[in-house]
A and B are shown apart, each in its own frame.
Chain A
């Protein structure tokens, strides 16, 4: 097994100093750093192979096209999709969800129902709320308990033959909860509803098998997976993507254009209008190579002890409120220090060289649930160390002292 010291050599940014102090990066839920192999693949492409895809008859363009399609194949294997056509390149998770909400959502009729959960981030709330408004569909929400678990009985009550789509996060970006997706997909399918899983947070921690989950759509972003920004994936079952209308129209996604009529390509190309994020797609391919080489087993073995250590250290400090205590969880810890606003804490952590996130984490309904304006959130990646957790804990103690 690779050690954390070996892994850290792949991430040059981790050895940076901030304010003269060794930088501890605990904001992996917001974005992750990129290994050298990804950076090199992207810069090498720009230096030696740059060209557009799907249009040139010259050598480099054909090569770029092939490399993008190679990434599609790698993603297919990485999430165990049945076929390559089920993998659509998007800008990120947000665009992937918007694509489904707009395209699949256009089939919603008045009185149809859409179910989401109370623990979604805005990207898996607003697109559904808007499509319900435009289609006259009904928007329903599965609540969660204070421990951060979805209320499965409420879900049973909300489900009916009117339910057309259920959109659930695989892992909460605030509470860290990993939801029982497989069970929920099974329940929804009994009513003929389709299920979209927001995998933005889950995929950096867990291996994803879309066939095993049997979800209809699965979305994730490259940049939360140690890869580039500007590239994300929509997985959709072939039969669904085939019947769905295009999301955006324009170049690349068309078959024949006349002023009377336009015909479109088949999936996935009909969903990829305009020039793709070529460099980022190729970078995502290198990201998958990197992660497959490390393996999820190693990722779990590195992350879980850090999460347990951070939690036990934090719980020993008086006057700390932790939000979310699900048994099955990822390395995401949201908390507040009594009497200290999260933003003041964030500034002091920054001064200590600890980078983490303070605020509502694009999940205002979770803040509303707990009746708080914001939380401090530390999130762990496989390259983090025990020393970094110690720095974080020292930071918490300093903040308490500062505002006592």
Chain B
């Protein structure tokens, strides 16, 4: 069970059961719709950005425990931070779920490093990455739709 326990770390199970920032922001400045057609994960990411600061961020939708907790922890992590910070974290997060990280990178991600166990499960990488891809899309253009498959 140890590899599995690492994947479903207790923080992940908690954020899956009680997702934070699980709501719609309307109106919002930026948003995107992310889908994994193969498994049916389906989320919207909403942002309210003022002068380069993410004043509010939320997500809504349905999917597996990994994608749900990823949305919850991502939004918790980025609230009140700058757009540049969000981009930087997105890059490090996406690296973490498929490759080894440096200790410096680990520091940047803080609590988000609970998703490190995902890299042992290649088929689940897209679950963890989905909301981050949607975030990237939302930051790049005001509204959009992405698929990670």
Q: A residues near B, CB below 8 A?
A: 340-344, 347-348, 351, 358-360, 367, 373-374, 402-403
Bound complex: CA of A359 vs CA of B124, how far in Å?
Answer: 13
With A347-B4, A348-B4, A351-B4 as contacts: A341 and B42 at CB distance below 8 Å? no
Q: Which residue of B lies closest to A340 (CB)?
A: B65
Which A residues are CB-close (under 8 A) to B63?
341, 373
Q: Which residue of B lies closest to A341 (CB)?
A: B64
Which A residues are CB-close (under 8 A) to B64?
341-344
Q: Which residue of B lies closest to A345 (CB)?
A: B64
- The answer to whether B40 touches A367 (Cβ under 8 A) is yes
Bound complex: CA of A402 vs CA of B7, how far in Å?
Answer: 12
With A341-B65, A373-B39 as contacts: A351 and B127 at CB distance below 8 Å? no
Q: Nearest Cβ distance between residue A274 and chain B, in whole angstroms?
A: 30
- The answer to whether B4 touches A373 (Cβ under 8 A) is no
Quick check: is B121 within 8 A (CB to CB) of the other chain?
yes
Bound complex: CA of A342 vs CA of B64, how far in Å?
Answer: 7
Binary flags per residue of B1-19, CB closer than 8 Å to A gives 1, else 0: 1011001100001000000
Which B residues are CB-close (under 8 A) to A403?
13, 65
| Residue in A340, A351, A360 whose CB lies within 8 Å of B40 | A360
- The answer to whether B124 touches A347 (Cβ under 8 A) is yes
Q: Can you list 6 pairs linking A and B with CB atoms under 8 Å apart? A: A341-B64, A347-B4, A347-B7, A358-B39, A373-B40, A374-B40
Q: Nearest Cβ distance between residue B8 and chain A, in whole angstroms?
A: 7
Q: B residues near A, CB below 8 A?
A: 1, 3-4, 7-8, 13, 38-42, 62-66, 68, 121, 123-124, 127
Q: Nearest Cβ distance between residue B138 and chain A, in whole angstroms?
A: 22
Bound complex: CA of A402 vs CA of B5, how far in Å?
Answer: 10
Give the 3 A-B CB pairs with smallest separation, nearest first.
A373-B40, A341-B64, A343-B64
Bound complex: CA of A344 vs CA of B42, how far in Å?
Answer: 15
Q: Nearest Cβ distance between residue B123 and chain A, in whole angstroms?
A: 8
Which A residues are CB-close (under 8 A) to B40?
359-360, 367, 373-374
| Residue in B42, B65, B127 whose CB lies within 8 Å of A373 | B42
Bound complex: CA of A343 vs CA of B123, how far in Å?
Answer: 10
Bound complex: CA of A105 vs CA of B38, how far in Å?
Answer: 29
Q: Nearest Cβ distance between residue A290 and chain B, in whole angstroms?
A: 32
Which A residues are CB-close (under 8 A) to B13?
403
Q: Which residue of A lies closest to B13 (CB)?
A: A403
Bound complex: CA of A374 vs CA of B35, how far in Å?
Answer: 14
Which B residues are CB-close (under 8 A) to A358?
39
Bound complex: CA of A347 vs CA of B40, how far in Å?
Answer: 16
- The answer to whether A343 touches B1 (Cβ under 8 A) is no
Which B residues are CB-close (under 8 A) to A373?
39-42, 62-63
Sample of 8 further A-B pairs with CB below 8 A, known A343-B66, A343-B124, A373-B41: A341-B68, A342-B39, A343-B127, A344-B65, A347-B4, A348-B4, A373-B39, A403-B65
Which A residues are CB-close (under 8 A) to B42?
373
Bound complex: CA of A93 vs CA of B123, how far in Å?
Answer: 27
Q: Which residue of A lies closest to B38 (CB)?
A: A359
Q: Nearest Cβ distance between residue A347 and chain B, in whole angstroms?
A: 6
B7, B65, B124, B127 — most chain A CB neighbours (10 Å)? B65
Which A residues are CB-close (under 8 A) to B66?
343-344
- The answer to whether B8 touches A402 (Cβ under 8 A) is yes
Which A residues are CB-close (under 8 A) to B123?
347
| Residue in A340, A343, A348 whose CB lies within 8 Å of B39 | A343
Q: Which residue of B lies closest to A19 (CB)?
A: B3
Which B residues are CB-close (under 8 A) to A341?
63-65, 68
Which A residues are CB-close (under 8 A) to B3?
351
Bound complex: CA of A343 vs CA of B70, how far in Å?
Answer: 15
Bound complex: CA of A358 vs CA of B63, how far in Å?
Answer: 13
Q: Nearest Cβ distance between residue B13 and chain A, in whole angstroms?
A: 7
Q: Which residue of A lies closest to B42 (CB)?
A: A373
Q: Nearest Cβ distance between residue A403 and chain B, in whole angstroms?
A: 7
- The answer to whether A347 touches B121 (Cβ under 8 A) is yes
Q: Nearest Cβ distance between residue A128 and chain B, in whole angstroms?
A: 21
Q: Which residue of A lies closest to B121 (CB)?
A: A347
Q: Nearest Cβ distance between residue B14 and chain A, in whole angstroms?
A: 12
Which B residues are CB-close (under 8 A) to A360?
38-40
Which A residues are CB-close (under 8 A) to B65?
340-341, 344, 403
Q: Nearest Cβ distance between residue A395 and chain B, in whole angstroms?
A: 12
Q: Nearest Cβ distance between residue B23 and chain A, in whole angstroms?
A: 20
Q: Nearest Cβ distance between residue A97 and chain B, in whole angstroms?
A: 21
Q: Which residue of A lies closest to B40 (CB)?
A: A373
Which A residues are CB-close (under 8 A) to B68?
341
Which B residues are CB-close (under 8 A) to A344?
8, 64-66
Which B residues are CB-close (under 8 A) to A340?
65
Which A residues are CB-close (under 8 A) to B7?
347
Q: Nearest Cβ distance between residue A22 and chain B, in whole angstroms?
A: 17
Bound complex: CA of A344 vs CA of B7, how far in Å?
Answer: 10
Bound complex: CA of A55 vs CA of B98, how far in Å?
Answer: 50
Q: Nearest Cβ distance between residue B122 and chain A, in whole angstroms?
A: 11
- The answer to whether B1 touches A359 (Cβ under 8 A) is no
